[in-house]
Amino acid sequence: MEQRVLILTPKGRDAEVIRKLLLAQRRDVAVCRNVAGLADELETGAGAAVVTEEALTGVDLDSVLDWLRQQPPWSDFPFVLLATRQLARRSVAAQHVVDNLGNVVVMERPISAETLASAIDAALRARTRQYQTRTYLQERGRAEERLQQLNETLETRITARTIDLSRANDRLVTEIAERERAQAALAQAQKMEAIGQLTNGIAHDFNNLLTAIVGNVDMIGRRTTDDRLKRLAGYAREAANRATRLTGQLLAFSRTQRLDLKPVNVDSLIHGMGDLMERSIGPSIAIRTDLQSHTVHAVADANQLELALLNLIINARDAMPNGGSLTIATALRRAGCSELLTGHYVVVSVTDTGTGIPAHLLPKVFDPFFTTKPIGKGTGLGLSQVYGIAQQSGGLAHIHSTPGKGTTVEIWLPISDSEEQAGARYVNSDPLIDIAHDERIMVVEDDGDVRRFIVECLKTFGYCVSEADSGHVGLDLLQKSRPDLLIVDFAMPGMNGAELAQQVRARYGDLPIIFVTGYADMDAVERVDGAKYLLRKPFEVAGLANIVRNALAAAPATH
């Protein structure tokens, strides 16, 4: 339809002649009766139009002109106008019509068929180029549309990718933070392990020295009747006891000291410490208690918990040099952090109104030897011991502090399911009486000072004593003479106490054995079959006498 030639020549035989001419050239032709018909055919589609001048004169051309004005930008419809020769005398109205048609080729009549055919061909070729332009513009429009769609899709994909990247970045930030926390925890664990290894390394030798010092000073104090010597021995014993507590604090922090964990009524324990707390805190500080856990028992070592609370009280006192108030409270709480197993805990808190601790120092306060006190005013082991006791009890230690307002330290202890309570403390009786009945005791100890102290004590009690400085020497002596009791140091070079005990059990199954051990050896000692009697270093004369008497009383008759 777009290649049709429209013919509007209402007068004469022009329409028929032109029609036949175009049909001979195999053109599609549509003959229009008037301007309205021409407008209708233009709407249908055409490539060019042949019109006579008189067909457009004196008629309403609005329908055709409206169609021309509404042409798309690529279209400029061609007209072949057959006009009269007198162009110079053409009316103004007729010239206006020609101007409004736009793309018009004016040909004067009469005109030959070949010239007319050539003019129509030229008009159709021009129209074809317009169609090509239309196709190009349409392709370009489609390309622009596709590009726009791609751009819109790209923006959508960029937005989605940005969201994915943002989520990935958030996950990365979270993972980095978790990794930093894990690395900090690992560094702390490695530091604690290094301290534990260092403590374990020195604990055995240090406890041997303390055993000899404590025992011999105790013997001197008991044997002399000179009041001045008794007083000096007492001073030495107090210093040795402080050294013993210092070792215990180190071992408690490094988690190598085995606690005697039993159900403890914490409220009752705190009530029992009333006099001690008042003497430790001084008159310028008011003590207040708020105890809310009397109905339950916590898993703890009563002695160590008392020592931890005493350390906290002394720290609070030092933080309030001008006086203040101290609150000791207990409460039942449910664990709400990942560091504790889910369950209820007895929380013991010690709160002071002292100077407080700066925020940048709080992460360090549980480190051993770290202290905010002046030089010479503290060992830096008090809070580290609290931390170690809480950890070994299955709980946790927390600290909250605000400079200028005070500090709160919390000890979280798990609730005990057992109704058995920690018993009363063992009280040693005076061993300086003749308690022996000709029993034979062998002492196997590699440290000469400790061995001499033990042997001297046992001889004082009236026992018949033999000694060996190693496990191999002890086995040789056993083959010659079997004693009624064997006292063995656990940590010895060559053959340790466990290996010696294993061979003794194989040969003399009913021979009672007392293991002499430091705190650091407790895990290994407890794995020894039949390790019933344990004497922890350092010990005094009374402790040695009592455990020897108990072991001999429970032993079968000597063969």
Hey, what domains does the chain have and what are their CATH numbers? 5-111 (3.40.50.2300), 258-414 (3.30.565.10), 440-554 (3.40.50.2300)
In this predicted structure, the answer to whether residue 121 has a pLDDT above a threshold of 80 is yes
Three-class SS state of 344: strand
Average pLDDT estimate for 147-161: 84
Distance CA 403, CA 367 (A): 20
Q: Enter the tokens of residue 69.
A: 């004005």
**Torsion angle of alpha carbons 359, 361, 367, 370, nearest 10°?**
-150
The tens digit of pLDDT for each residue in 52-77 reads 988 888 888 899 999 999 999 999 99
In this predicted structure, the answer to whether residue 349 has a pLDDT above a threshold of 90 is yes
Distance CA 436, CA 457 (A): 12
* Eight-state DSSP code of residue 264: E
More confident residue, 218 or 426: 218
Phi, psi of 427 (to 5 degrees): -110, 125
Q: Enter the tokens of residue 152.
A: 């819109």
Distance CA 225, CA 99 (A): 147
pLDDT of residue 519: 57
Could you give the percent of the chain with pLDDT greater than 90? 24
pLDDT of residue 421: 45
pLDDT of residue 556: 66
Lowest mean pLDDT among 108-112, 121-125, 249-253, 438-442: 249-253
Distance CA 2, CA 99 (A): 24
Phi, psi of 402 (to 5 degrees): -130, 120
- Cβ atoms of residues 286 and 325 within 8 Å: yes
Q: Enter the tokens of residue 213.
A: 């010092």
Helix (H) or strand (E) holding 198: helix 113-223
Three-class SS state of 290: strand
Amino acid at 13: R
Helix (H) or strand (E) holding 466: strand 464-468
In this predicted structure, the answer to whether residue 431 has a pLDDT above a threshold of 50 is no
Distance CA 376, CA 234 (A): 23
Average pLDDT estimate for 76-95: 74
Rounded to a whole number of angstroms, the CA Rg of the chain reads: 56
In this predicted structure, the answer to whether residue 160 has a pLDDT above a threshold of 70 is yes
pLDDT of residue 422: 42
pLDDT of residue 227: 82
User: 250 pLDDT band (50/70/90 cuts)?
Assistant: low
Distance CA 541, CA 431 (A): 7
Average pLDDT estimate for 183-204: 70
In this predicted structure, the answer to whether residue 196 has a pLDDT above a threshold of 80 is no
The tens digit of pLDDT for each residue in 174-185 reads 999 888 878 876
- Cβ atoms of residues 118 and 41 within 8 Å: no
Place of tokens 């000179």: 226
In this predicted structure, the answer to whether residue 366 has a pLDDT above a threshold of 70 is yes
pTM: 0.46
pLDDT of residue 143: 92
- Cβ atoms of residues 254 and 199 within 8 Å: yes
- Cβ atoms of residues 546 and 431 within 8 Å: yes
Which class for 185: exposed (0-12), middle (13-18), buried (19 or more C-beta within 10 A)?
A: exposed
Cis peptide before 538 (omega within 30 of 0): yes
More confident residue, 256 or 153: 153
Amino acid at 103: N
pLDDT of residue 425: 35
Phi, psi of 533 (to 5 degrees): -110, 120
Average pLDDT estimate for 549-553: 86
In this predicted structure, the answer to whether residue 31 has a pLDDT above a threshold of 90 is yes
pLDDT of residue 396: 85
Q: How many CA atoms lie within 13 A of 297 on its CB side?
A: 16
- Cβ atoms of residues 346 and 332 within 8 Å: yes
In this predicted structure, the answer to whether residue 168 has a pLDDT above a threshold of 50 is yes
Place of tokens 């004067």: 108
Distance CA 458, CA 440 (A): 10
Query: Judging by DSSP bridges, how do beta strands 324-334 and 396-402 pair with one another?
Result: unpaired
Helices (H), 76-112: 92-101
Average pLDDT, the chain: 82
Distance CA 291, CA 271 (A): 9
Average pLDDT estimate for 10-19: 87
Cis peptide before 110 (omega within 30 of 0): yes
Contacts of 467 (CB under 8 A, 6+ apart): 442, 443, 444, 445, 451, 455
Query: Judging by DSSP bridges, how do beta strands 485-489 and 513-517 pair with one another?
Result: parallel
- Listed ranges 23-32, 143-152, 239-248; the one with the highest mean pLDDT: 23-32
Q: Enter the tokens of residue 388.
A: 């170690």
The tens digit of pLDDT for each residue in 492-523 reads 888 888 888 888 888 887 788 898 887 555 56
- Cβ atoms of residues 221 and 542 within 8 Å: no
CA distances from 255 to 43, 105, 266, 470 (A): 100, 111, 22, 29
Beta strands in 265-314 (DSSP E): 285-291, 298-300
